[in-house]
Amino acid sequence: MNRTILISLGLLTLLTACASPEEIRQKEAATCTSYGLKAGTTDFERCISAEEKCRHVFIRSYDMAPHGLNTGLGGAYASEKRQECLQREEVFIHGG
């Protein structure tokens, strides 16, 4: 359990060291703009929130990978969970 916590903290440190909060926000904004959403609209802000939420799902999913990080499945599992999150959030964003 301690190893899992250390790995999680290390991974989180790496991810946060790679981009500043502003850079992350800019990337999320660019993603939402690529969907055709306009900055300042309710749908755009919902999209930003969904991107942030699903980024956190991605980070947390590394710990929940079925066979742990050592098998190389952590990234694939986390990507799948992020994609599922985005699909759920898309309905909310577009009012479907």
Question: What integer best gives the mean pLDDT of the chain?
Answer: 76
DSSP-assigned letters across all residues of 30-90:
HHHHHTTPPTTSHHHHHHHHHHHHHHHHHHHHHHH-TT-GGGTHHHHHHHHHHHHHHHHHH
Counting every residue, how long is the chain?
Answer: 96
73-93 vs 42-64: helix crossing angle, rounded to 10: 160
What angle is formed at CA 64 by the lines to CA 89 and CA 59, rounded to 5 degrees? 55
- Per cent of the chain over pLDDT 90 is 27
**pLDDT tens by residue, 22-72:** 998 999 999 899 989 999 999 999 999 999 998 888 888 877 776 655 556
pLDDT of residue 37: 92
User: Which structure tokens are listed for 46?
Assistant: 């919902």
Q: Is the pLDDT of residue 84 over 70?
A: yes
Q: Is the pLDDT of residue 6 over 50?
A: no
